Amino acid sequence: MMAGGFAALDELHQMFTGDRSPMVQDVVLDMTGALTATIIILLVEQLWRRHVAKRDRLSLLKH
């Protein structure tokens, strides 16, 4: 949501810039990028937690 807010503020700012124009498509693109990054981070975190849990289980079996 914060990414969408920042994107909207940036587009609002562009209304006052001489050679740039605000576009709703830019806000949607920014939000899509933020969502994609969030999903990737969550997937990597989940994989990392599984790896650590498996490593911990294996270390317990060795002792």
Chain-centroid distance of CA 27 in Å reads 14
The reported pLDDT for the residue numbered 48 is 97
Q: For the chain, 63 residues long, give each residue's pLDDT as a single digit of tens.
A: 888 999 999 999 988 887 888 899 999 999 999 999 999 999 999 999 999 998 888 887 776
- Whole-structure pTM value: 0.74
How far from 59 is each of 38, 50, 51, CA to CA, in Å? Answer: 31, 14, 12
Chain-centroid distance of CA 28 in Å reads 14
The reported pLDDT for the residue numbered 7 is 92
